[in-house]
């Protein structure tokens, strides 16, 4: 159900929640349209509602998702189309949330008169045109969310005039050009979301000046060059996502000293070089490390065991070599361990069985030898086990039947037990009653 919630008036007592506009929003003055509506307070009519000072409205929410029993069974998809030019007359507005509706067209320039505005959320609509430069006139703006629309053009440099800005979200539009250097001058910026656009050029060095930045997500763009060394100086960073770009060079070691960081995501670039030996010595609360689909090489650092909060480790499709260290068994919070398509050698350590929360284990396409440790089959939470295309040998133990949550087992390209015997194990343990299980096994025997 679509719902327009208004809080209007000079004092708290004058504010009205859940104002339902029954007529379509057209070119008629907003104030007139609002007076045609039925003002309600949790379903009860307010006597003096129609006399409200609408022009002093402070809070305006057209909620596209929330539903409750006291709201009318009427959708706003037809009513909400374009934002009228008259919205610029509501100069007392502090908060606007038009997210997840069916608005389209350009944003009216009259909105530049909303000088008191602090919160503006227009995400998940179909707004188009260039991102307006007049946002630079909204000097009190703290949050601007234009994500999931059809905006084009470049990021206006006028954003540098909004010194109060804390959150800027332009995710999933068609924005082109480079990230303006002036973005680094936003000293109060905490979140910068630019995912899923057409940005080019390099990551500006000036971003390291945004010292309060906690979230930087510029995934799915066409950025080139190196990751700036200064990114490691952003000591408040919690989420750093630069996935699926065209970045080259090595990962600055300074990034692994950001003690507050929880997610490092660099998957899908052309990054090269080694990981530092002390990788996890300064990352006490790291939960996700995404480094797949790069050109990283060298051994897996033994210091990974110090990332005690790590839940997801993606090292797929790189050039790592050497053994899989037994220390990895101390990462008891790990849920996904993905080491496939590398050059790892040696055996699978028994300590893998200590990863009692593991859901996915991927070690396929390496050069791993020896037998499959029995301890793996005691991880009852395991749903995907991929050991295909290694040099594993021997028998799979009867304990394989303990994996009652298994949905995918890939062991082809090894020297393991004949597949018919493997199927007998599954029948014996009644695991085949789970129709989602997929077994991939081709004996390498002649």
CATH of the domain at 429: 3.80.10.10
d(CA 235, CA 216): 13
> What pLDDT shows up at residue 438?
54
Angle at the Cα of 336 from the Cα atoms of 331 and 339, rounded to 5 degrees: 90
CA 445 to chain centre: 45
Yes or no: say if 230 and 210 are a contact pair by the CB < 8 Å rule: no
Question: Phi, psi (5° rounding) for residue 54?
Answer: -60, -35
> What pLDDT shows up at residue 19?
37
DSSP 358-369: --EEE--SSEEE
Asked if residue 74 belongs to a domain, the reply is no
Name the token pair of 330.
């101390």
Asked if residue 170 belongs to a domain, the reply is no
Q: What is the number of H-type helices and E-type strands within the chain?
A: 2, 33
Q: What is the pLDDT of residues 316-375, one digit of tens each?
A: 999 999 999 999 999 999 999 999 999 999 999 999 999 999 999 999 999 999 999 999
d(CA 219, CA 264): 12
Yes or no: say if 45 and 16 are a contact pair by the CB < 8 Å rule: no
CA nearest neighbour of 388 among 406, 370, 371, 411: 411
Task: Kindly list the strands in the beta sheet with 272-274, ordered across the sheet, starting from the edge strand earlier in the chain.
Answer: 272-274, 295-298, 319-323, 343-346, 367-370, 391-394, 415-416
d(CA 275, CA 99): 41
Residues 6+ apart with CB under 8 A from 109: 88, 132, 134
Distances (CA, A) of 18 to 7, 27, 49: 8, 22, 12
Q: How far apart are the first and last CA of the chain?
A: 64
Domains in the chain, number: 2
Helix (H) or strand (E) holding 30, with range, is helix 30-35
Name the token pair of 414.
């090894």
Yes or no: say if 243 and 266 are a contact pair by the CB < 8 Å rule: yes
Q: Which residue has the tokens 């096994």?
A: 441
Asked if residue 337 belongs to a domain, the reply is yes
> What pLDDT shows up at residue 64?
59
Q: Are strands 119-121 and 143-145 parallel, antiparallel or unpaired?
A: parallel
Name the token pair of 336.
């996904």
| pLDDT tens track, the chain, 446 positions | 233 333 343 333 333 333 333 333 332 344 444 444 332 222 222 333 444 455 678 888 876 545 444 444 344 444 558 898 888 999 999 999 999 998 999 999 999 999 999 999 999 999 999 999 999 999 999 999 999 999 999 999 999 999 999 999 999 999 999 999 999 999 999 999 999 999 999 999 999 999 999 999 999 999 999 999 999 999 999 999 999 999 999 999 999 999 999 999 999 999 999 999 999 999 999 999 999 999 999 999 999 999 999 999 999 999 999 999 999 999 999 999 999 999 999 999 999 999 999 999 999 999 999 999 999 999 999 999 999 999 999 988 888 888 889 999 999 999 987 555 555 555 544 444 444 455 554 433 32
Q: Which residue has the tokens 């480079």?
A: 178
> What pLDDT shows up at residue 400?
84
Range of the domain at 324: 272-445
Angle at the Cα of 294 from the Cα atoms of 289 and 295, rounded to 5 degrees: 120
Residues 6+ apart with CB under 8 A from 437: 406, 407, 408, 409, 426, 431
d(CA 227, CA 231): 8
Asked if residue 233 belongs to a domain, the reply is no
Asked if residue 60 belongs to a domain, the reply is no
Q: Which residue has the tokens 């699926």?
A: 244
Asked if residue 420 belongs to a domain, the reply is yes
Distances (CA, A) of 121 to 99, 136, 335, 394: 6, 16, 34, 59
Asked if residue 10 belongs to a domain, the reply is yes
Helix (H) or strand (E) holding 424, with range, is helix 419-428
Task: Kindly list the strands in the beta sheet with 104-105, ordered across the sheet, starting from the edge strand earlier in the chain.
Answer: 104-105, 126-130, 150-152
User: How many Cβ atoms from other residues are within 10 Å of residue 22's Cβ?
Assistant: 12
Asked if residue 250 belongs to a domain, the reply is no
Question: Phi, psi (5° rounding) for residue 439?
Answer: -110, 125
> What pLDDT shows up at residue 33?
42
DSSP 75-116: -STTT--S--GGGGG-TT--EEE--SS--EEPPPGGGGG-TT
Helix (H) or strand (E) holding 168, with range, is strand 167-169
Yes or no: say if 233 and 256 are a contact pair by the CB < 8 Å rule: no
């Amino acid at each position: 159900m679509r719902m327009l919630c208004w809080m209007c008036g000079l004092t708290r007592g004058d504010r009205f929640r859940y104002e339902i506009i029954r007529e379509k929003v057209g070119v008629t003055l907003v104030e007139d349209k609002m007076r045609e509506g039925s003002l309600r307070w949790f379903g009860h009519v307010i006597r003096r509602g129609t006399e409200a000072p609408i022009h002093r409205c402070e809070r305006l929410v057209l909620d596209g998702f929330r539903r409750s029993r006291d709201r009318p069974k009427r959708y706003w998809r037809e009513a909400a189309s374009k934002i009228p030019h008259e919205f610029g007359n509501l100069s007392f507005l502090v908060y606007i949330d038009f997210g997840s509706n069916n608005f389209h067209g350009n944003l009216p320039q009259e909105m530049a008169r909303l000088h008191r505005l602090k919160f503006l959320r227009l995400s998940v609509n179909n707004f188009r045109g260039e991102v307006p430069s007049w946002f630079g006139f909204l000097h009190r703006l703290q949050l601007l969310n234009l994500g999931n629309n059809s905006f084009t053009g470049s990021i206006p440099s006028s954003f540098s005039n909004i010194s109060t800005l804390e959150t800027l979200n332009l995710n999933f539009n068609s924005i082109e050009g480079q990230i303006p250097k002036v973005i680094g001058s936003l000293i109060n910026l905490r979140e910068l979301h630019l995912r899923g656009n057409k940005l080019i050029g390099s990551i500006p060095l000036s971003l390291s000046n945004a010292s309060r930045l906690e979230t930087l997500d510029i995934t799915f763009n066409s950025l080139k060059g190196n990751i700036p060394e200064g990114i490691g100086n952003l000591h408040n960073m919690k989420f750093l996502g630069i996935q699926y770009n065209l970045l080259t060079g090595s990962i600055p070691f300074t990034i692994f000293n950001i003690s507050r960081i929880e997610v490092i995501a660099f998957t899908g670039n052309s990054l090269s070089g080694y990981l530092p030996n002390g990788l996890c010595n300064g990352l006490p609360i790291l939960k996700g490390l995404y480094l797949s689909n790069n050109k990283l090489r060298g051994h897996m650092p033994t210091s990974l065991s110090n990332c005690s909060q790590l839940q997801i480790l993606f090292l797929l499709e790189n050039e790592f070599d050497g053994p899989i260290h037994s220390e990895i068994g101390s990462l008891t919070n790990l849920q996904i361990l993905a080491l496939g398509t590398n050059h790892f050698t040696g055996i699978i350590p028994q300590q893998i069985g200590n990863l009692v929360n593991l859901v996915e284990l991927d070690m396929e396409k390496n050069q791993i030898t020896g037998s499959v440790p029995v301890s793996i089959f005691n991880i009852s939470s395991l749903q995907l086990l991929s050991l295909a295309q290694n040099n594993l040998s021997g028998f799979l133990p009867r304990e394989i039947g303990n994996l009652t949550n298994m949905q995918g087992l890939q062991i082809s390209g090894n020297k393991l037990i004949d597949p018919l015997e493997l199927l007998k194990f599954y029948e014996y343990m009644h695991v085949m009653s789970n129709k989602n299980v997929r077994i991939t096994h081709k004996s390498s025997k002649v």
